[in-house]
Every structure is written in structure tokens, then in C-alpha cells.
Amino acid sequence: MATAVADEVRTTLRAPGYGHPAWREIPEEAAPCRVCLDAIQPGREALIGFTYDPFQLTGDPSLPGPVFVHERHCEPYTGSGTYPARLGRSGLLLNCYREGRQLVRARRIDHADAEDALGELLALPEVDYIHVRSATAGCYLCTALPG
Ligand SMILES: [Zn+2]
């Protein structure tokens, strides 16, 4: 998620594009921040939760859901791999899209297989980007792009 989007929510406490109230809490379990893709530390750091549509920037039909970011400003993930190993341990749902929001494949995987699966799927000519979602909660985690 773009830092500017998160910073706007941190300031307004409103969901971007929706205006629904965002909320602040100190989580009891680690929650993945959608900006830095690191864990929001339970009992120690505050999060902002809000409704987010990962298709918002492309103008494609929306698929909103709840996400969390650090309450404090944080820097966007810039790791070199396609998938940050620190982003949780649960199963993942990989929704593979072609430009224009055409869902061309979906695969459910174990967290440990993320790097290999993303590399394999992003190499397919029909896949332009992948939305990574939690296989348990269903919520959007991040977008994986080729290269
Ligand atoms: Zn963060």
C-alpha cells in the first residue's frame, strides 16, 4: 500500500474512498502492516484499521476489505525478494490478475512456499500482478509484481 494512502488515514481516521471511520487499537496478536510489511507488535504498538480497496488506484471494480497499518509513520517495504518472509505464517491465497482485473488463476499455498509460488506464477505470460491474501482471514496483504 502506498505510504500516502496510509498517511492520509492516519491523519483523517477515515477509510480512503469510502469515508467509513477507521479505528485505532493495540492488537493482542501480531498483525501485518500493509505499508512496511512488518508485524505490528502486539501489546506494544498501535494499529489503524480501515476498509481498503486494493483496486482503487487502477479504477477497476472494487474488492474492499479490512486492513491494518502502523499508527506511526513507517517506511514502505523495499525488500529484494518477491515476498517478505516476515509477513505472517498462515496460509496464503494468491489471486493472479491480468491487466483489467481479470482473475486468471488462484492458488492456496503454505506460507513457506510463497517465494517459489510467486516466482512461478509471475513468470506466466497471462499474469500481470498477484494479490496476496490471508487464506484464513481472507484479507488483502500486498501486491506482488514481476521483476
Ligand atoms: Zn508499518
> Pairing state of beta strands 102-109 and 92-98?
antiparallel
Looking at the domain assignment, is residue 84 inside a domain?
A: no
- Residue 82 is predicted with a pLDDT of 62
- pLDDT for residue 105 is more than 80: yes
Count of CB atoms within 10 A of residue 79's CB? 11
Domain hosting residue 112, numbered range: 92-144
User: What percent of the chain is predicted at pLDDT more than 90?
Assistant: 67
- Residue 61 is predicted with a pLDDT of 80
- Residue 84 or residue 102, greater confidence: 102
- Residue 137's Cβ-count burial label (10 Å; 0-12, 13-18, 19+) is middle
Looking at the domain assignment, is residue 30 inside a domain?
A: yes
**Which grid coordinates belong to 146?**
514481476
Computed over every residue of the chain, the mean pLDDT equals 90
CA of 33 to the centre of ligand 1 (A): 5
User: Average pLDDT in the 32-43 region?
Assistant: 93
- Residue 38's Cβ-count burial label (10 Å; 0-12, 13-18, 19+) is middle
- Residue 1 or residue 47, greater confidence: 47
Looking at the domain assignment, is residue 119 inside a domain?
A: yes
CA of 86 to the centre of ligand 1 (A): 12
Residues 104 and 61 placed together within one structural domain of the fold = no
Residues 65 and 108 placed together within one structural domain of the fold = no
Residues 60 and 102 placed together within one structural domain of the fold = no
Residues 65 and 113 placed together within one structural domain of the fold = no
Q: 56: pLDDT confidence band, cut at 50, 70 and 90?
A: confident
CA of 97 to the centre of ligand 1 (A): 26
CA of 12 to the centre of ligand 1 (A): 17
C-alpha–C-alpha distance, residues 72 and 139, integer Å: 21
Q: Strand, coil or helix: what is 6?
A: helix
Looking at the domain assignment, is residue 121 inside a domain?
A: yes
Q: How many domains does the chain have?
A: 2
